[in-house]
Amino acid sequence: MNEPMIQARSMMWVAKPLIGVALATTLAGCIELTAPERPIEINLNIAITQEVVVRLAQDVRELRETNPGAF
Amino acid sequence: MKGRTKIILAAAAALAAVGGGASYAATAIQARTADQLRATGLAGEQFNGYMGIVNDAPSDIRARVNSINITRRAAYTEVAGRRRVKIEDVGAAMACEIFATSILPGQYFMLSDGIWRQRQGNAPVPRPSYCG
């Protein structure tokens, strides 16, 4: 009666180590990343001059009118 | 059958949990334009001329903000080409305009320090020095 059950369990005993081996090989395939020696610098200080902003004032007001809902 | 009942119960529980924030969600779902998004308190204006997500906004709000930013980027690019300036310059100029006119009391804005702040009452929104 219980034979198929027992068979399934014994299958698991065989399968478990196999899963372990499969996992180990997958992990072995991972690429190892090391941090670069010098930190990556991202410059957030974008130089924007008042002169340019003032010159664009009318243009941006027009953008608002031509793109309702976007600004 | 048992499994299905479980799923239905779980769905009902999830709906009940969402129900608590129903009014909040309703205003958020209807938010489509930039001013509506600002009014939800889930999105705000940044000094670079683009909108940003303030808190843990739901995906529909994020999608709307992204869509608006794509429109803005295209608009800034067009002006930048015509006026022979950088796209960032046009964005900055627009931020100056938006900060001066469109952030209502309680709405969020972000300066170059990267911190979201709320406009306090009718106090003017601080702007970057290049706004003039």
Tell me how far apart the alpha carbons of residues B86 and A48 are, in angstroms, rounded to a whole number: 9
R_g of chain A, CA atoms, integer Å? 32
Cβ–Cβ gap A56/B93 under 8 Å: yes
pLDDT on residue B107: 98
pLDDT digit string (tens) for B105-125?
999 999 999 999 999 999 999
Contact residues for B88 (Cβ-Cβ < 8 A; gap 6+): A46, A48, B48
Please tell me if residue B100 touches chain A, with a CB cutoff of 8 Å.
no
Cβ–Cβ gap B33/A63 under 8 Å: no
Size of interface A-B (CB pairs under 8 A): 75
Cα angle vertex A9, ends A6, A10, to 5°? 85
Please tell me if residue B80 touches chain A, with a CB cutoff of 8 Å.
no
Contact residues for B125 (Cβ-Cβ < 8 A; gap 6+): B99, B100, B103, B109, B119
Q: What is the pTM of this model?
A: 0.65
Please tell me if residue B97 touches chain A, with a CB cutoff of 8 Å.
yes
Selection from A16-20, A49-53, B57-61, B104-108 with the highest mean pLDDT = B104-108
Among A45, A56, A61, most B C-beta atoms within 10 A, so best to mutate, is: A56
Cβ–Cβ gap A59/B128 under 8 Å: no
Of A48, A50, A71, the CB nearest to B34: A71
Q: Is it the case that residue B26 has pLDDT exceeding 70? A: no
Tell me how far apart the alpha carbons of residues B89 and A56 are, in angstroms, rounded to a whole number: 8
Q: By mean pLDDT, which of A17-31, B21-35, B102-116 is the weakest?
A: A17-31
Provide the mean pLDDT of chain B.
Answer: 85
User: pLDDT confidence of A35, banded at 50, 70, 90?
Assistant: confident
Please tell me if residue B112 touches chain A, with a CB cutoff of 8 Å.
yes
Q: What is the DSSP string of B17-49?
A: HHHTTHHHHHHHHH--SHHHHHHHTSEEEETTS
Distance from CA of A63 to the nearest CA of B (A): 7
